[in-house]
């Protein structure tokens, strides 16, 4: 008979973030944990797995009602964590080594491990990539790899901190299948902003002002309009509430806090208009039979001022396409042009002054000492100080209050870091804006605010990568479907429904 385990969290306090957190988590139970950006969800996860110690309170493990030894040495076998940055969690030289590491550490037979690794890789769509380095995988593929590696050792408890956010619909369905299969022996805590995902949990917890509020069944919570309004949902898919005529998105869109006026940036509107008039007759980007070492092949054109929504399955080459647009990679064959000028190694410095790239894992490339320093990186100390006061209103549009300006970026939540990255990218009024899942890790209110800001950007050429067509369908001029390193579909926004089945077959949420 299998022993039943319960994780008891009692009166946890941590700095000014958590203030008396209490809950029991039963083996086999799936809990969804929600809350606004910066509410302490990831901090709680770190405390649970032993990466940090609470200032007050205790975390106990009970086995069939009897307190069990719970120390750092054994904790990794009992509880696993899929964090927001899977790149930081991979240690194997190859995908196979990553999947095998935990099993070999537990003493499993090497022949059995080889067989299991092949099975695991296939189950998460990484079959045939066993000998690849994890560094060559997309963000979604790394999430799948880390999840499979942890599930392989059969932990009693598993935390997924936005652990499914980088996955397309097909990949997420496959991983959810594995998670539900593991459910009898593995309790799961899904930290998420995704109401559709939370809907499938057994219980919903919400972190509010440092305390946990138990909402019971998520199916019940999402039917209450007050709850949905508070957390920015318009009811789950507008199917569980009758308040369909006044969605939160419509009410929120008119909030003046989220109005972006380009002449508030450092360049000024005169310079912006001059640049637009100068370039409006030229393609912003043009790939001419461009082939890259990363199997990317492009022969496409983007008009100045166009908004291109780029969708496709995980690992299809969407991020690589953005990297080619900013010149992080150059073609081995063919050519790429920006405003009719060829992009070469010698012209990269000038080209990148016109272009900004926001990646899906902002925490991987923020280098400023503070939030303020990151956003205005490259300025002199005098410029930073003399202009500081006049810039506060710009930063507040990204929900970055003055109290956060001196915080180190690595101390922020994932969603807060994403807002910092967006503020840094937009403050110089780039001519081309490249965004890779820019809403990743943002709570519902922040997502709506950032989408409103992006909608108001005029005369900026935008390439926007996402797994969710709903994010771009309102603003995009054209949609590109990327598969196997190629743009296999280029259609207007108006005709997307003619290709709906093709989008869905590729794992795109519609």
For residues 3-32, one letter each, b for 16 or more C-beta atoms within 10 angstroms of the residue's C-beta and e for the rest, the string is eebbbebeebebeebbeebebebebbbbbb
- Alpha helices of 183-268 — where are they, by DSSP H? 195-198, 218-221, 225-230, 248-252
List pLDDT tens digits, range 387-440. Answer: 888 888 888 888 888 888 898 888 887 778 888 888 999 888 899 999 999 888
Within 10 angstroms of residue 135's Cβ, the number of other Cβ atoms is 9
Q: Are 157 and 189 in contact (CB under 8 A)?
A: yes
Please give the DSSP secondary-structure letter assigned to residue 236: G
List pLDDT tens digits, range 284-320. Answer: 999 999 999 988 999 999 999 999 999 999 889 999 9
pLDDT at 2: 61
The share of the chain scoring above pLDDT 90, in percent, equals 55
Q: Taking residues 134-138, what's their average pLDDT?
A: 90
> Looking up tokens 């009992």, which residue turns up?
78
Q: Are 210 and 18 in contact (CB under 8 A)?
A: yes
Nearest to 287 by CA among 495, 454, 482, 438: 482
The two structure tokens encoding residue 97: 């080594």
- Mapped onto helix, strand or coil, the DSSP state of residue 461 is strand
Neighbour-count burial of 115, counting CB atoms closer than 10 A to its CB (0-12 exposed, 13-18 middle, 19+ buried): exposed
Give the chain's domains with CATH numbers: 5-221 (3.40.50.300), 256-361+429-505 (3.40.50.300)
pLDDT at 147: 94
The share of the chain scoring above pLDDT 70, in percent, equals 88
List pLDDT tens digits, range 55-93. Answer: 999 999 998 888 887 766 678 789 999 988 888 888 899
CA–CA separation, 427 and 262 (whole Å): 9
Pick the more confident residue, 274 or 355. 355
For the chain, the average pLDDT equals 86
Q: Taking residues 349-357, what's their average pLDDT?
A: 94
The two structure tokens encoding residue 22: 């209490």
List pLDDT tens digits, range 287-296. Answer: 999 999 988 9
């Amino acid at each position: 008979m299998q022993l039943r385990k319960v994780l008891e969290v009692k009166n946890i306090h941590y700095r000014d973030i958590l203030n008396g957190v209490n809950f029991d988590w039963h083996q086999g139970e799936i809990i969804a944990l929600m809350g606004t950006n910066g509410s302490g969800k990831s901090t709680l996860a770190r405390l649970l797995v032993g990466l940090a110690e609470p200032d007050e309170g205790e975390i106990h493990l009970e086995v069939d009602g009897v307190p069990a030894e719970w120390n750092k040495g054994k904790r990794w076998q009992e509880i696993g964590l899929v964090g927001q940055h899977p790149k930081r969690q991979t240690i194997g030289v190859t995908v196979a080594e990553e999947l095998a590491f935990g099993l070999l550490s537990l003493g499993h037979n090497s022949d059995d491990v080889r067989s299991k690794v092949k099975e695991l890789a296939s189950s998460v769509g990484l079959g045939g990539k066993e000998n690849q380095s994890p560094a060559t995988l997309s963000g979604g593929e790394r999430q799948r790899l880390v999840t499979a590696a942890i599930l392989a050792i059969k932990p009693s408890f598993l935390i997924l901190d936005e652990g499914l956010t980088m996955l397309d619909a097909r990949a997420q369905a496959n991983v959810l299948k594995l998670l539900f299969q593991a459910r009898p022996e593995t309790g799961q805590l899904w930290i998420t902003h995704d109401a559709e995902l939370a809907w499938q949990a057994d219980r919903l917890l919400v972190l509010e002002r440092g305390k946990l509020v138990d909402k019971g069944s998520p199916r019940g919570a999402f039917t209450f309009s007050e709850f949905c309004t508070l957390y920015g949902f318009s009811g789950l898919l507008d199917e569980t509430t009758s308040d369909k005529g006044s969605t939160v998105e419509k009410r929120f869109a008119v909030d003046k806090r989220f109005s972006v006026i380009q002449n508030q940036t450092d360049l000024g509107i005169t310079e912006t208009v001059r640049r637009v008039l100068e370039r409006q007759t030229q393609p912003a980007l043009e790939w001419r039979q461009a082939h890259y070492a990363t199997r990317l092949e492009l022969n496409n054109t983007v008009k100045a001022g166009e908004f291109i929504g780029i969708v496709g399955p995980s690992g299809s080459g969407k991020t690589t396409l953005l990297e080619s647009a900013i010149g992080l990679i150059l073609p081995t064959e063919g050519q790429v042009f920006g405003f009719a000028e060829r992009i070469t190694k010698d012209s990269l410095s000038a080209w990148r002054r016109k272009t900004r790239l926001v990646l899906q894992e902002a925490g991987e490339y923020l280098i400023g000492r503070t939030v303020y320093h990151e956003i205005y990186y490259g300025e002199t100390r005098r410029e930073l100080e003399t202009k500081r006061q006049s810039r506060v209103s710009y930063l507040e549009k990204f929900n970055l209050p003055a109290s956060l300006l001196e915080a180190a970026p690595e101390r922020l939540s994932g969603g807060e870091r994403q807002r910092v990255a967006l503020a840094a990218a937009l403050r110089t009024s780039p001519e081309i804006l490249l965004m890779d899942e820019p809403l990743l890790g943002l709570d519902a209110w922040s997502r709506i605010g950032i989408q409103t800001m992006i909608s108001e950007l005029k005369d900026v050429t935008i390439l926007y990568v996402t797994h969710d067509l709903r994010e771009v369908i309102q603003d995009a001029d054209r949609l590109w479907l990327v598969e196997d390193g190629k743009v296999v579909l280029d259609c207007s926004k108006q005709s997307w429904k003619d290709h709906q089945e093709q989008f869905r077959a590729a794992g795109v949420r519609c």
